[in-house]
Chain A
Amino acid sequence: MIPVTTIGGYLGAGKTTLINHLLRHPDGQKLAILVNEFGALSIDEDLIEAQDDDLISIAGGCICCSFGDNLVGALMDLMQRQPRPDHIVIEASGVAIPGAIAASLSLIQGLKPNGVVVLADSETVRDLSNDTYLGDTILRQLKDADLVIATKTDLVAESWSHDLGNWLATVSPRAALVHAIQGRVSSDIILGPRSPGMHPEQNRHSDSLFKSKVFPISRPLDLKALVTGLISPELGITRAKGFVLTPTGETVLVQVIGRRAETSTSPNRSQHAVVCIGPAHTINTQELDRLFNSV
């Protein structure tokens, strides 16, 4: 299954900057980026290896395709490509409802939704949410988000950012919040961490704004209690992924995106661990330790 991350948010919220940052830090993954139209997404020129009408080839095996008004068709084409991408990122149009895009992923076999990330311009998003034409669209976008990235944090006062955070918590009840400057968000935050233990380099984030921690698991855990804990805002994580041993001796794959968790059965494994990621200033590793020790 190829994971698909949907990135939404209105024009100017910073989607292009974020995608360029992702393409610079793909962490060894072959990303396929789907955009509405090429011209609107100005990929940094030094990243482009080749370009034709439908496709931009990017250093490191990543590609960028435009889908116009036919996202599902473009995704079907992508599934036919060799080699298959490791991860697909959809850049939704500024007025698209990203939840609807995420829903359409279930139409195609072999794709797995990997979260809706909505960007919000810290300066303008609250005004936009009151705009006659756009207000309800902006609020629907935020409501669908698993992860809200408040961008351009450097352009607003700390108190403004704080108020914005409180407001976003009410309009994006399901989302974890990350503040970002110039698109500098760890790839792991957008794409999700890879399974712990397989990629020792995973703790190397593109900068010190984000932190991840691996929690090895050596005994059966109460899955429900663990998941309830991981999605609580107090722990300050944005994503988590890992394999958990349950009291019945089964291995379960756990994935957390924002305030939402998914569990699925997995082939049994000898080693179990969960990796948690979050902004360095919100992730509460002490509480996380306590959670993993207590459930």
Chain B
Amino acid sequence: MHYRLGIDVGGTNTDAVIMDIEHAVIAKCKEATTLDVSTGIKNAVAHVLRTSGIDPSLIKHAMLGTTHATNAVIERKGLLKVGVIRLSSPSGHGIPPFMEWPEDMMDAIASSYVIVKGGYEYNGALISAPDRDEIRGALVQLKMKGIESLAVSCAFAPVNSEQEELVQELAQEILGPEFPVTLSHLIGSIGLVERENAAILNAAIRKLAETAYGSFQNILLDHGIDADLFITQNDGTLMSIDYAKQFPVLTIASGPTNSLRGAAFLSRKLEAIVIDVGGTTTDVGVLRKGFPRESTAAAEVGGVRTNFRMPDLITLGLGGGSLVREHNDAVRIGPQSVGYRIHTEALIFGGSTVTATDIAVAAGIAPPLGDSTLTSGIPSAVVKRGVAEIQAMIEKLIDKMKTSSEDVTVIVVGGGSILVPDRLKGASEVIKPEHFEVANAIGAAIAQVSGSVDGVYDVSTLGREAVIAMVKDAAADEAVKAGADPASVEVVEIEEIPLAYLPSNAVRFRVKAVGNIK
């Protein structure tokens, strides 16, 4: 028998699960997230191993969803000095790198850049031919400025990556074979500014990611776990730990995605609305084909514009620890919360604060929890109105996120799930799956690997069908390269956007394929 270990680091808790090859949950635990993150992970690993009683050497895969990268970018800590080479001249000088970056961020990474000849047109033709000597000169110039990490961008690199790869080759010659180089086409899609920004952020956090993921490897080895290690990325799929050390920026904001994927797995539903109720907030997202529906808004990370595809979420100040207050005749829930102090402050745990959890227990919605007799002091009218208010808040969110007039499946996960009644307006069924409280760690444990392709193609020469077949194959190849079992790979997303304002047949395709870990 083999096992897999899933860990998810959240703002409040670090959750861990051990699952068998049939994906049955063998053990689960919640530990407090620590300031250094790693101690929390260590505690969770030790706890879940102890509970499971299994031989650690039987764990063959370990998956981690973590906030190391996000925290570093937001707090501007442990960042490397980054140099940028952009291949685009004569285009691109109108908008040089680092435009509209927050000043403290630019100071933190000592931003320097050179724009050199190169780049492609949408159809792969050269804007201008790259000049090796010019690139060598630029690298020497950046070396003299003391850069510690290099980011490389190129106009239409998603269409052709050769020029970025040429810079990598020359960088090894001038900066050394081990010097960290981030190529933009491996990080992001169409949109040079956003892709370059993401590549710069990635370059800045490579060292701390290497340290953090290295410490994860050591924690596991210390516990006798010699497994293939993976880190979850923001689209809900996995990167091998060696890949993640090179592309840590792709892990940013993977938490909500893990919880949505975990909900899909636990309920065996592919199309549903997922309500993740925590201690302070509730996130509502939508599953389409088992993956989170993505937001179309440009995602800012630490004040820097990127084109990461974040899950489309609505967040509401409602959680298990939300304060309950009477206001005239109405009862208000949240947005203030006792948060992680719920275990001492809520009435049912002997505290003196009326929380949403107390209301749910008093109304008999929640399963037996704490000492329900301690809620007897809450007037029954307040309990009734409070329950109605919680229900109304959730139903409003469901209505906002739903895309069909028909009732939809609603899956409820997270520690605060007990607040949610079993029947909701707009819901054909309300599912609270077993292990709902650790859905995010389960989402990490069951995650697959993916590959994607994004580019602009001329459909007039090859024909639309042939182009679609080509981009699908390319995405599937990427998934296999990332570690997917070729037999399990399928295309889960294909987007076709004809470019506006041109009487030509230029069409942008974005395709994503996923598969199971080999």
A and B: interacting chains = no
Show the binding face of A for B, using Cβ within 8 Å.
Answer: none
